[in-house]
Amino acid sequence: MVLAVMVRPLPKLSAREFWRVVLLINLVDLAFAVDSILAVVAFSKDLLLVFLGVALGILFIFIRLAAGYVVAVMERYPSLEKVAYALVGWAGVKLLLEGSATLAELLHRPELAWHLPKPVFWGVTFLILLGGSLLALREHA
């Protein structure tokens, strides 16, 4: 069976229309950040939680602003992508071990739980970050 797909060309946009869309996307992003701050304030009387919500809202705004810089660094040092994958994989190992501990607790079988001490997790994380970054910089040189 053959599917016929009608392909229409995309309309041509001017530079002004493009920047208008970019501005609207950023305004919507800012609105969601402010909305999350207001939601935390509305639902919690815990000052620490309110502060954390505000800090995270501001952090997300800065992350969006820093994305261009991160892309430039990744284009200059493409081997850093492997470091990022290694860090995400290592975090996955930690989550898997925490999941086994939760499962062991649910089954009332504490001997099935595997625990990863925090100093080990942070030490390996630092080694992956430092070692991988040094290798990526050395490959680029």
Instruction: Quick: pLDDT tens for 35-86.
Output: 777 777 777 777 787 777 777 777 777 777 788 788 888 888 888 888 989 9
Q: Which residue has the tokens 């680029």?
A: 140
pLDDT category of residue 90 using cuts at 50, 70 and 90:
very high
Is the backbone of residue 108 left (phi > 0), alpha (psi -120 to 50) or beta? left
Q: Pick 114 or 80 by higher pLDDT.
A: 80
Q: What is the per-residue pLDDT for 104?
A: 78
Structure tokens at 113: 């739980």
